[in-house]
């Protein structure tokens, strides 16, 4: 028996590995996708004042920090019983759209694009953004310009391009001036043109790689996404809708009831858990989230160009199951995000100054909270670029976190990724000689989901100490020495 390892999986966010086990005749007996890291946010948020969660949790992921910022902020609104004013909700949605433009452009052009632009089996030294810059500078420039607009929206609305800070319980800490509105409107309009050009380059690739689309990682699963107004695409708010692999609705539920519908399983070979639909069970309740899942769940995109792209996509692929179509769906969403940003920025109410409902009730002190059995809770669900993101906080009466539960986008695709890698490895690998190009095609399955492995894991293990700690006679640590 021989093992093939692909590590680290590259051009993804975080640390992952693929292992493939061969039997004596050289056929694949098993294969897995492993997540190799874990940091522990769920635990170490405990004890923090819950209003700090929106500025601690963006550090879960440096790519989709805005998504964590906003899911946490929505949860804190609920903890304190606050309703953000309309302008604040629009600002938050705009902030999230900035995230979409940055993240989808990053993923398509810089992380996954090189496989399609340079070829899945091309020279690995050149199969990256630098290679694209040197061979196709116009594509690289388009990538840089598109993503920059996303970061500019985030920086203006969120205060910073990475790990924004303006979403606070009850609303936003800073509004948008008319000058900023005009500046961002021009940029968002520019983004539409850039995405159109990008799509012209990208669309033929889905014909060129039709065989790979069929071959790499196909699985059948349920799909989940937020929707509103009977099937519109939505990122910031809405209810969770779940469909089965043929498109029939299975569940529709409000965010705070997620525990009735979603459960997570632990496997000994990965730090990332495996969420599944609780009422269907494991593993049949496997479901996917993210761009392709969203376009399967929703019926309508209410902007002009993206809805045209959506209609053509539906015509060609129906209820899409093949992970490489996540890329296509991502481009449609990149267009929607740009168009929707223009819609929001053309509406002058975005510069409104009523942006926060302040807390008027007197909070308990920490001491009072210790004596009291009162608890508070807030659940924030949004559509992150990679899919449905759940932040759930339970606090004491004073609003200090007692328990945090985070179900992140990538986790919900874990079962499908693992299964897709295994089935594809079985089809493609025969014998110990496995080319770099073939290994890269297995990585392409993982990449298609735009996985975010830093997000996916929130605990730490300290079972094996590598350090010698020296304490003084008062029990205070005075030195940590590495063994």
Phi, psi of 233 (to 5 degrees): -65, 145
| Contact criterion met (CB below 8 Å) for 275 and 414 | yes
Binding piece for other proteins, criterion CB under 8 A, among 132-140, 198-206, 245-253, 313-321? 132-140
**Range in contact with other proteins (rule: CB under 8 A) among 88-96, 185-193, 211-219, 267-275:** 267-275
Among 24, 230, 268, 433, which residue sits at the site for other proteins (rule: CB under 8 A)?
Answer: 268
Given a contact cutoff of 8 angstroms between Cβ atoms, the answer to whether 409 and 450 are in contact is no
**Residues 289-328: x where in contact with other proteins by CB under 8 A, - otherwise, as a string:** ----------------------------------------
CB of 287 to other proteins, least distance (A): 14
Structure tokens at 220: 């059948």
Which residues in 134-153 contact other proteins (CB under 8 A)?
134, 140-141, 144-145, 147-148, 151
Interface pattern 438-457 for other proteins (x via CB under 8 A): --x-------------x--x
433 or 472: CB nearest other proteins: 472
CB of 57 to other proteins, least distance (A): 9
Under a CB-based contact definition with an 8 Å cutoff, are residues 452 and 477 in contact? no
Nearer to other proteins, 304 or 467 (CB): 467
Nearer to other proteins, 187 or 301 (CB): 187
Q: How far is the CB of 299 from other proteins (least distance, A)?
A: 29
Q: Are the C-beta atoms of residues 250 and 221 closer than 8 Å to each other?
A: no
Stretch that binds other proteins, among 84-92, 197-205, 220-228, 268-276 (CB under 8 A): 268-276
Of the candidate residues 392, 396, 418, 450, the single one contacting other proteins (CB under 8 A)? 392
Near other proteins by CB under 8 A: residue from 110, 201, 250, 434: 110
216 part of the interface to other proteins, by CB under 8 A: no
Residues 36-75 that bind other proteins (CB under 8 A): 36-40, 42-44, 46-49, 51-52, 55-56, 59-63, 65
Least Cβ distance, residue 170 to other proteins (angstroms)? 8
Task: Answer whether 354's CB lies under 8 Å from 85's CB.
Answer: yes
Work out whether 87 is an interface residue with other proteins (CB under 8 A).
no
Candidates 2, 130, 182, 231: give the one binding other proteins (CB under 8 A). 130
- Is the separation of the CB atoms in 96 and 238 below 8 Å? no
> Within a 10 A sphere around the Cβ of 354, how many other Cβ atoms?
13
17 binds other proteins (CB under 8 A): yes
User: Is 332 within 8 Å of 309 (Cβ atoms)?
Assistant: yes
- Nearest approach in angstroms of CB 304 to other proteins is 28
User: How do 477-482 and 467-471 pair as beta strands?
Assistant: antiparallel
Site for other proteins in 400-439 (CB under 8 A): 400, 403, 405, 407
């Amino acid at each position: 028996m021989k093992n093939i390892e692909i590590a680290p999986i590259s051009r993804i966010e975080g640390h992952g590995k693929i292992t493939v086990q061969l039997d004596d005749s050289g056929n694949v007996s098993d294969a897995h996708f492993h997540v190799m890291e874990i940091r522990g946010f769920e635990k170490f948020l405990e004890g923090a004042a819950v209003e700090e969660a929106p500025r601690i949790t963006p550090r879960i992921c440096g790519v989709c920090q805005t998504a964590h910022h906003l899911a946490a902020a929505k949860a804190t609104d609920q903890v304190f019983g606050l309703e953000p004013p309309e302008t604040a909700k629009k600002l938050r949605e705009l902030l999230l759209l900035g995230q979409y433009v940055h993240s989808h452009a990053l993923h398509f052009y810089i992380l996954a694009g090189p496989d399609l632009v340079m070829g899945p089996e091309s020279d690995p030294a050149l199969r990256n953004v630098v290679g694209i810059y040197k061979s196709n500078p116009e594509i690289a420039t388009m990538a840089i310009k598109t993503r920059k607009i996303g970061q500019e929206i985030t920086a203006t609305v969120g205060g910073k391009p990475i790990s924004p800070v303006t979403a606070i319980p009850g609303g936003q800490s800073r509004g948008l001036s008319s000058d900023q509105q005009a500046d961002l409107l021009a940029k968002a309009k520019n983004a539409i043109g850039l995405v159109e050009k990008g799509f012209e380059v990208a669309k033929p690739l889905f014909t060129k790689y039709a065989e790979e689309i069929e071959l790499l990682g196909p699985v059948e699963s349920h799909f989940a996404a937020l929707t509103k107004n009977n099937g519109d695409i939505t990122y910031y708010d809405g209810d969770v809708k779940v469909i089965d692999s043929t498109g029939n609705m299975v569940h529709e539920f409000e965010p705070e009831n997620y525990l009735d519908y979603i459960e997570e399983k632990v496997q000994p070979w990965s730090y990332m858990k495996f969420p599944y639909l609780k009422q269907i069970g494991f593993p049949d309740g496997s479901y996917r989230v993210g761009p392709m899942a969203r376009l399967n769940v929703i019926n309508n995109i209410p902007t002009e160009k993206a809805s045209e792209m959506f209609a053509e996509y539906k015509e060609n692929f129906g209820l899409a199951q093949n992970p490489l179509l996540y890329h296509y769906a991502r481009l449609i969403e990149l267009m929607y995000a740009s168009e929707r940003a223009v819609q929001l920025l053309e509406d002058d109410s975005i510069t409104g100054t009523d942006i926060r409902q302040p807390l008027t009730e007197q909070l308990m002190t920490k001491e009072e909270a210790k004596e009291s059995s009162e608890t508070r809770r807030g659940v924030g669900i949004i559509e992150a670029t990679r899919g449905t993101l759940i932040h759930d906080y339970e606090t004491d009466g004073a609003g200090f976190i007692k328990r945090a539960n985070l179900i992140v986008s990538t986790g919900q695709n874990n079962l499908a990724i693992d299964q897709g890698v295994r089935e594809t490895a079985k089809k493609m690998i025969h014998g110990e000689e496995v080319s770099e190009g073939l290994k890269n095609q297995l990585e392409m399955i993982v990449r298609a989901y735009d996985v975010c492995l830093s997000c996916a894991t929130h605990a730490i293990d300290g079972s094996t100490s590598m350090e010698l700690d020296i304490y003084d006679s008062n029990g205070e640590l005075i030195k940590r020495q590495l063994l």
